[in-house]
């Protein structure tokens, strides 16, 4: 017998209004929650107004099999994708995460159909995963801090069991909800990978590719080139765009130590 969880009146109002509790512990924008609750309190709902929509959407077409795409696009939260991929970038080299390509990231987005790339939680019994999570939080990441921690723990589990990453990512056993195994998920990732490079998904792939590249000179803060002087140490060589300081996967920590403004700019992607 399946026991349904008890929901609060607020949760029920939000569901009726079409504002879901997002996967991975996330929440829709506060303003949209408040609007839905206000309408619900008055005894009426307006789905077209209160249905959750990201403030900065980007669409992608998921694989439909046999080299085809679904006829209707899936809408993603562009800002959330930016935060999650940036968190991966900033932990990858520092903690030895697997090296994913932009195409692999987009494939995961499309297969999962979620802006958090399918992240739910990480193994809190893994000491290094906890350290990664805490480090990413100190850099200013919120829910995205757990994404690289989950990748690290999954990578370790995959190596220990001598299985592909995606087998371990979806669980080593059989899902009670879907009846599928990690090997089924791994096969789906392989079978769907063609969709990432189709022209219809070019905007999504371009966005992820840009996030995963080192920042260009036009993106750097004009004051960043003299940032070392802010520490009062004029004997150190000055950082320049393209140096190791700005290499892919190592951008945040120097920014975090020098300027809160720079790290917030990096996390938001704006």
Give the burial class of 42: count Cβ atoms within 10 A of its Cβ; 0-12 exposed, 13-18 middle, 19 or more buried. exposed
φ, ψ for residue 227, nearest 5 deg: -65, -35
3-class state of residue 225 by DSSP: helix
Q: Is the pLDDT of residue 237 over 50?
A: no
Listed by start position, the domains of the chain span: 9-50, 57-211, 214-247
At 186 the pLDDT is: 93
- Indicate the pLDDT class of residue 140, thresholds 50, 70 and 90: very high
- Indicate the pLDDT class of residue 175, thresholds 50, 70 and 90: confident
Q: What percent of the chain has pLDDT over 90?
A: 51
Residue given tokens 């921690």 in the structure block: 149
At 171 the pLDDT is: 78
Average pLDDT over residues 53-82: 93
69 vs 225, higher pLDDT: 69
Q: Is the pLDDT of residue 68 over 80?
A: yes
The DSSP bridge pattern shows strands 74-77 and 57-60 to be antiparallel
CA pair distance 90, 264, nearest whole angstrom? 13
Cut 0.85: pTM above it = no
């Amino acid at each position: 017998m399946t026991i349904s969880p008890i929901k609060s009146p607020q949760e029920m109002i939000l569901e009726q209004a079409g504002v879901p509790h997002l996967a991975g512990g996330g929440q829709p924008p506060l303003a949209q929650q408040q609007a839905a609750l206000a309408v619900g309190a008055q005894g009426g709902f307006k789905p077209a107004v209160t249905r959750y929509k990201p403030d900065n959407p980007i669409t992608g077409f998921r694989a439909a099999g046999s080299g085809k795409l679904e006829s209707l696009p899936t809408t993603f939260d562009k800002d959330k994708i930016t935060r999650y991929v940036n968190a991966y970038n900033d932990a990858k080299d520092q903690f030895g995460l697997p090296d994913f390509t932009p195409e692999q990231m987009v494939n995961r987005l499309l297969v999962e159909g979620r802006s958090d790339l399918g992240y739910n939680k990480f193994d809190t019994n893994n000491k290094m995963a906890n350290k990664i999570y805490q480090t990413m939080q100190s850099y200013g990441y919120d829910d995205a801090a757990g994404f690289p921690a989950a990748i690290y723990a999954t990578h370790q589990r995959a190596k220990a069991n001598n299985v592909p990453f995606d087998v371990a990512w979806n669980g080593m056993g059989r899902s009670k909800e879907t009846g599928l195994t990690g090997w089924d998920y791994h096969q789906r990732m392989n079978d769907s990978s063609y969709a990432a490079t189709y022209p219809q998904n070019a905007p999504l792939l371009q966005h992820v590719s840009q996030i995963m590249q080192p920042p260009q000179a036009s993106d750097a803060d004009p004051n960043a080139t003299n940032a070392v002087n802010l520490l009062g140490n004029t004997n150190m060589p000055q950082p320049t765009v393209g140096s190791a300081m700005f290499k892919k996967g190592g951008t945040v920590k120097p920014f975090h130590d020098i300027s809160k403004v720079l790290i917030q700019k990096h996390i938001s992607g704006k």
